[in-house]
Amino acid sequence: MSEIRETPPIEMGGGISNYHENIVLPLQAATTVFIAAAIIGFIDDWGLLTRRQKAFVIGFAALPLVFLRPAAPQLDLIFRDLDFTHSSLFGVNFLFILFWLVVVPAGVLCAANAFNMAAGYNGLESGIPIITSSFMVLILFLKGRDTGAAIIFLGLIGASVAMYIFNRYPAKVFVGDVGTLGIGATYATAAIIGNIAIFAVIAILPMFFEMIATFYYVSRGKERRTACMHPILLGDGRIHLDGPQKGPLTILYQRFNAKSLPSAIPTPF
């Protein structure tokens, strides 16, 4: 007689559970973070928040991430992973709390402000998300990381490509704080979920130029917005500052507006 073998039980819920954890939960987190950041941006666009208030209030957009916790509390430091789960004191994992209540909100806050600071020039607020998110997808692929994070980045790329059509030079559309804060917060969310935060930070480092410029002028008792913004191109090719001149025009302004300015423009350096 042939031997009868028992068939091991098949787990029916595993696939659904993995789909929820790897796809649904990250998308829920990214969507709610974007909505929260966009609401804060809408309030700011109506002039109800000061610049300092906006810079810190945007950190509350990370609350959906804190409640949903769609990722492991880890940071990839390129050469090693920093794990926030294996340290406890008196039965309390303070590193776990530190990650979700400090590191995550700080990441969302910094990324949202970085994207917001870089906005205002032709094609920047749509072009930067395309470039940075494309490289993040490539890094996720090379590292074999979370599928949900890749979908979020691909969503950012698709939305930014559609916006770039109208935001490129000469720009017809600017998304305001609703878009820039929402995109920046979502970018941080995907980076945290995919555990590629350090790569995401490196990709947007140039966007912090305006913050450095702000500290530069504040240290000299000057208002950066008055010193650096709203130059007018005169007929003879010179730049005139629309307002009292309290500081030099930034070279970065000329570089980002190269299409609308002559190739060689005298600057008051």
Q: At what angle do helices 176-193 and 25-45 cross, to 10 degrees?
A: 150
What is the pTM (predicted TM-score) of this model?
0.76
Residues 171 and 254 in one domain: no
pLDDT reading at 248 higher than 90: no
The number of folded domains in the chain is 2
Domain that residue 234 falls in: 222-269
pLDDT reading at 106 higher than 90: yes
- What's the confidence (pLDDT) of residue 232? 60
- pLDDT tens-digit series, residues 3-30: 555 545 444 445 566 767 778 899 999 9
Domain membership of residue 101 (yes or no) is: yes
What dihedral do alpha carbons 251, 253, 258, 260 form, nearest 10°? Answer: -140
Residues 75 and 111 in one domain: yes
- pLDDT tens-digit series, residues 164-217: 998 888 888 888 899 999 999 999 999 999 999 999 999 998 888 777 777 777
Residues 173 and 191 in one domain: yes
What dihedral do alpha carbons 155, 159, 162, 165 form, nearest 10°? Answer: -120
Region for residue 222 given its phi and psi (left: phi exceeds 0; alpha: psi -120 to 50; beta: otherwise): beta
Region for residue 69 given its phi and psi (left: phi exceeds 0; alpha: psi -120 to 50; beta: otherwise): left
Residues 81 and 166 in one domain: yes
CB atoms within 10 A of CB 117: 18
Is the dihedral angle over the CA atoms 64, 100, 155, 252 positive or is it negative? positive
Say if residues 137 and 127 touch (Cβ distance below 8 Å): no
CA atoms within 13 A on the CB side of 73: 21
